[in-house]
Structure 1
């Protein structure tokens, strides 16, 4: 069978121009219990508004009732309704990075396709997940794109791309037996090569406290250009995140890219522990989203917010870096990157 890579397709870096960003509007009160769902909506609408400044927002909405609520709310936040494309697509939860479509591009043929990875709610933790698992093929049909189904579990938050053939991921997630127990590391790497169109896989070890995805890399290490990453670091040696993030940092400092260059590593401090109702959430500045108009960074009402924004502003010279409060969103155990999936132009 011809693989996407053999046909010239690949997954581009997040800073590649977007047609749109896809979101799945939150509706599951198991993720945001009690009044927490309604409480996080203002932060979510501010997120929608920030994305819509430079591109279309394609919004998967569970039903017509929720659609009516959204359309009523958009003017309250000054959101241009013409920038919002609402699709009635039943879903189980809000994490579009993981259950949404992975768009590939072929610059030579000017074509795109979708990889329909399997999705099992991070190792079967949160059933049901059948509606989420069905979403990529629905979006492929809506866009009129071919979809290829590798037949294995893969989440968008577990992989990070530099646009030049390298993908970063974590052993704790991709090698976890709750995903693809029949595959070893070499076999998983082959899937990354064949279906994401990559040439090199770089591995860190684990993720942060409170992350129920088994260590998604989009909370710990992110590419900001083809040879530079920001690495989340914890400077307090008594903090539970210190050892794992320091371990990842040392691994990153030893890595080489395809061209032989050493990976350029910039340290990005962690926020103060974001504890809600005695639960430590996975707050991290690394869970930012790169859009056409800006880089949207979650902030947590702590002293390191400005430090993180300054670091990222120094790295992204071509678009502004903006901080948006995510202290209510993070209760759901994810933030802006987890909630979104970009659709690249070709």
Structure 2
């Protein structure tokens, strides 16, 4: 039995939220300005909820930081170099006691190797003065989703993919999740969405909306992922989750 406090559920009160701000013109090209507007709209929606949550826009350089301040005067802006804005995957994972866990990142199995993504989590934790512990295996935040009680859902396609931790078995990964994140029950789903460059992250397949309760899309047969959704539902219900 682990004494580590598991990560709180997504709906638990937050002191702050990091949001990556589109920063690289060479990556976004003609979509850069629209992407910035969309991210600021998301940040504004979080800010408008009025729960006292600090919105932190993370910019990769000074130009992007200036743009973020101009578009989102309500937000705190920090400069930390990164490649991809998906901080859900590259940033720290916070536990219920306020400490942070840092994991290895290899560009979603070696597909997108961008400078700064493998260290941005450590730098963000240090910037906020968080107590952070580094864990010596590959894990992206979007690969798991928990309900705050120690129960988590994930997919075999991602966590058992040989492009992440080829030396770890399913039992080994469960032990790592327990030791490093305090997760006491792992519900394994099969595959994630088709053509997903994350190799099946669970965060666009099944998400907890309450203790032991997950939301899974219900699709018609003309949706290319309808069999994936149906299989996820069957696996979740077989594990005793309310769907």
* TM-score, normalised relative to structure 2: 0.93
C-alpha separation in 2, matches of 1:39 and 1:157: 24
| 1:44-55 correspondence runs (5 A) | 44-53=39-48, 54=50, 55=53
Structure 2 spans left out of the alignment, 5+ residues: none
Q: Residue 245 and residue 99 in structure 1: after superposition, are their counterparts in 2 closer, same or farther (change >3 A)?
A: same
CA contact (8 A) 1:114 1:136 kept: no
Distance 1:250 1:103, change over 3 A: same
2:56 to 49, 58, 66: 58
CA 31–167 in structure 1, closer or farther in 2 if over 3 Å, else same: farther
State whether structure 2 residue 11 is matched by structure 1 residue 25: no
Is 1:241 paired with 2:225?
Answer: yes
Q: Where in structure 1 do 4 or more consecutive aligned residues deviate above 3 Å?
A: 28-32
User: Structure 1 30/249 Cα, relative in aligned 2: closer, same or farther at 3 Å?
Assistant: farther
Matched, 1:264 2:235: no
**In 2: Cα distance, 1:58 partner to 1:41 partner:** 14
Corresponding residue for residue 181 of structure 2: 196
Distance in structure 2 (CA, Å) of the matches to 1:30 and 1:124: 20
Question: Tell me, what secondary structure is at the counterpart of 1:132?
Answer: coil
Inter-partner Cα distance in structure 1 for 2:70 and 2:10 = 31
The alignment status of 1:35 with 2:8, answered yes or no, reads no
- In structure 2, C-alpha distance between the alignment counterparts of 1:29 and 1:189, rounded to whole Å: 40
Unaligned runs of 5+ in 1: 75-80, 107-111, 257-262, 266-346
- Superposition pairs of residues 1-346 of structure 1, within 5 angstroms: 5-6=2-3, 8-29=4-25, 32=28, 34-53=29-48, 54=50, 55-74=53-72, 81=73, 83-106=74-97, 112-129=98-115, 131-236=116-221, 238-256=222-240, 263-265=241-243
Question: How many residues are aligned here?
Answer: 240
CA gap 1:29/1:220 in 2 versus in 1, 3 angstroms: farther
The C-alpha deviation readout for 1:83-117, integer Å capped at 9, x for no partner, is: 411111011110010001111123xxxxx211011
CA contact (8 A) 1:175 1:184 kept: yes
CA positional deviation for 1:241: 0.8
The answer to whether the 8 Å contact 2:21/2:36 transfers is no
3-state DSSP class of the match of 2:227?
helix
Structure with more contact order per residue of length (Cα contacts < 8 Å, sep ≥ 6): 1
Distance in 1 (alpha carbons) for counterparts of 2:121 and 2:38: 26
Structure 1: how far apart are the matches of 2:188 and 2:170? 10
